Structure 1
Amino acid sequence: MDLRRLASFLAVAEEKHFGRAAARLYLSRAAVTGHVQQLERQLGSTLLTRAPVELTPAGERLVKHARVLIDTANAAAADLADLRVDDRPFRVGIMGHGSAELTPASMRALRRARPDLRIAVVTLDFSEGESALLEDRVDVAFVRPAPVDERITVDVLTTEQRVVVVPDSWPVAEAPGVRLADILDLPFLSMPEHTPRSFTDYLYFAAARGGEAPRRIPDTALTPHDVLTSAALGRGAGSSLASFTRYYPWPGTAFVPVVDAPWDQSVLATRTGDRRPEVRLMRSVATKLSRELGPELGLVPRT
């Protein structure tokens, strides 16, 4: 019996909602629905009713078995972990420009401290700040904003002013600075359904919206390239941290400081409880460089 299908079924059974289960598993809603349907076909029984989502008698029986099977598989993996010969490189995830100049500086410092360590850089899109770590696709990640998940530990590296990215043909592009009230009605780029809530709240300045959804265009953004392309074509707006303006000066776009928005952070994210020496070393060199170089580069407010 496929453990992925069982995990999807169990998540829906516990959440009583396909969308929430998908977000919890970092899968699309369609994938979770497909897993449940495949399991139902395999077993020849309907496991869940829809609208509202409730367990059927067959589903009630399967829940107990599903929990035992998944717990057993996890326990087996944990028991064998210390025997695994792992020749993978140390995988560093970087979303966009990461933590600006602190990202390459940290990588160079890690290389000097551990010249024997094989390092692989993994490019992350805006939806992967949490899932790449939780799915063991990277060992550390330079991301923004800070993930909100107890399974992830963050070290704050930069604290920067927010900027809005807009077409240079829009009137707001001429302003030396704008206030939140000036930009909340702008049409923003869309994000995929599986994007973590922490990132969409950050992108759309959710705290200032009073619960109102942003006006969104059909264009979907997963990378800085997507944001800049849409802005250069005059279609929609995005947002970022101030250091974005140094890394992505594109013709046809403008970067305008949002003067009354709370400053936000980029972080080094790691799996909570990961005590491997290379992870600890990466955290140490990155936070040390943040303290030493951050104020000089304008990435950390001077005290």
Structure 2
Amino acid sequence: MDLRRLSSFLAVAEERHFGRAAARLFLSPSALTAHIQRLEREVGAELFNRNPVSLTPAGERFARHARALLDAVNTALDDVANEPVTDTLRIGVMGHGSAELTPAVINAFRQASPETRLVLEPLTFTEHTSALLACRVDVAFVRPAVSDERIAVDVLTREQRIVVVPARSELGQATALEVADVLELPFVTVPPYTPRPFTDYLYFTEARGGEPPRRGPDHAVTPHEVLTSVSAGRGAGSALKSFERYYHWPGTVCVPVVDAPWEHSVLATRADDTSPSVRLFRKLATTLAAHFPDRP
């Protein structure tokens, strides 16, 4: 979510007039209107009544979040304002990362440190720690939490668990499932060198008493590979609730597992990395996470 659009939104909310808000922000009226229209599309609701200008009920609720987000960013910037940042920051993202929070943090860093070159690196299920320890990336949006003294972890989101099953299967007709319903699913197979925290998360290992799952015939290291197997009726996958918002795949259904413990997505960094850019990115991520709505 672009912080400039949040600033435009708050200016209109406070001025109750598009023209005065545009002048206050040194924007053209058309640019300000475009900001508001884009924000309303992102949020999925009208934020203002027009003629006269006033906040809608959705706009009133959103204004509280917008103010908190901008205040949080300003606090984070004040905390590290006097430290130089490095020229390049390499950001690893596994799957869809921490959902809508991922682009919000990246955009906040981009605006806070425009001189820093950002490089985005997609990560597979096997790269919770290896990409960081090999210095391929400097920060990584992964799930679940990593247990490694060489890795620092900041918890960003906490979400309900789901399973991804073929739409034409019996479980595909369910509106909700329990852990006991999914333990015998033929889960897609990940490589043997996949970090244990991820396999335990993927296969509900604690619920099955440490026993290995029934494995499907296909291997996968990315969400797309999982969905290809599921849509063909050859396997199942598991994920966080936000997965459903990001991956609309024909022939697959995401069903919540209502009694499964909720899981985290995290920002992982090298524990000994004290670079100002990493510190700023972590500060922005944790500060935004504390104020970010569950579903923007």
Output the TM-score relative to the length of structure 1.
0.68
Deviation at 1:88, TM superposition (A): 6.7
1:156 and 2:168 matched? no
Unaligned runs of 5+ in 1: 1-86, 298-303
Corresponding residue for residue 272 of structure 1: 271
Corresponding residue for residue 102 of structure 1: 101
Corresponding residue for residue 143 of structure 2: 144
**1:234-261 Cα deviation digits (max 9, x unpaired):** 1100000000000001110000000000
Corresponding residue for residue 12 of structure 2: none
Distance (Å, rounded) in 2 between the aligned partners of 1:182 and 1:263: 17
Deviation at 1:274, TM superposition (A): 1.3
Deviation at 1:294, TM superposition (A): 3.6
The question of whether the paired residues in 1 share the 8 Å contact of 2:217 and 2:234 is answered with no
Corresponding residue for residue 257 of structure 1: 256
SS of 2:294 mapped into structure 1: helix
The question of whether the paired residues in 1 share the 8 Å contact of 2:217 and 2:235 is answered with no
The question of whether the paired residues in 2 share the 8 Å contact of 1:178 and 1:257 is answered with yes
Distance (Å, rounded) in 2 between the aligned partners of 1:264 and 1:114: 31
Distance (Å, rounded) in 1 between the aligned partners of 2:207 and 2:192: 21
Distance (Å, rounded) in 2 between the aligned partners of 1:285 and 1:293: 11
SS of 2:292 mapped into structure 1: helix
Q: Which structure is richer in relative contact order (CA contacts within 8 A, separation 6 or more)?
A: 2
The question of whether the paired residues in 1 share the 8 Å contact of 2:151 and 2:270 is answered with yes
Query: CA distance change for structure 1 residues 296 and 245 in 2, over 3 Å: closer, same or farther?
Result: closer
Distance (Å, rounded) in 1 between the aligned partners of 2:179 and 2:255: 11
Distance (Å, rounded) in 1 between the aligned partners of 2:283 and 2:257: 32
Distance (Å, rounded) in 2 between the aligned partners of 1:89 and 1:221: 31
- Residues 164-243 of structure 1 mapped to structure 2, 5 A cutoff: 164-243=163-242
Corresponding residue for residue 78 of structure 1: none
Corresponding residue for residue 16 of structure 1: none
The question of whether the paired residues in 2 share the 8 Å contact of 1:140 and 1:269 is answered with yes
* Alignment-mate amino acid for residue 162 of structure 2: V
Distance (Å, rounded) in 2 between the aligned partners of 1:89 and 1:211: 42
Unaligned runs of 5+ in 2: 1-85
The question of whether the paired residues in 1 share the 8 Å contact of 2:226 and 2:237 is answered with yes
**1:271-301 Cα deviation digits (max 9, x unpaired):** 002111000100011111111114354xxxx
- Residues 111-130 of structure 1 mapped to structure 2, 5 A cutoff: 111-130=110-129
The question of whether the paired residues in 2 share the 8 Å contact of 1:158 and 1:294 is answered with no
Deviation at 1:213, TM superposition (A): 1.0
Distance (Å, rounded) in 2 between the aligned partners of 1:98 and 1:92: 11
The question of whether the paired residues in 1 share the 8 Å contact of 2:161 and 2:256 is answered with yes
Distance (Å, rounded) in 2 between the aligned partners of 1:130 and 1:209: 25
* Alignment-mate amino acid for residue 206 of structure 1: T
Query: CA distance change for structure 1 residues 296 and 248 in 2, over 3 Å: closer, same or farther?
Result: closer
Output the TM-score relative to the length of structure 2.
0.70
The question of whether the paired residues in 2 share the 8 Å contact of 1:217 and 1:236 is answered with yes
The question of whether the paired residues in 2 share the 8 Å contact of 1:102 and 1:294 is answered with no
SS of 1:208 mapped into structure 2: coil
Count of aligned residue pairs for this structure pair: 212
What is the root-mean-square deviation of aligned Cα atoms in Å?
A: 1.4
Deviation at 1:148, TM superposition (A): 1.0
Corresponding residue for residue 15 of structure 1: none
Distance (Å, rounded) in 2 between the aligned partners of 1:233 and 1:166: 10
What percent identity do the matched residue pairs reach? 60
Distance (Å, rounded) in 2 between the aligned partners of 1:141 and 1:296: 21
SS of 1:177 mapped into structure 2: coil
Which 4+ runs in 1 deviate beyond 6 A?
A: none
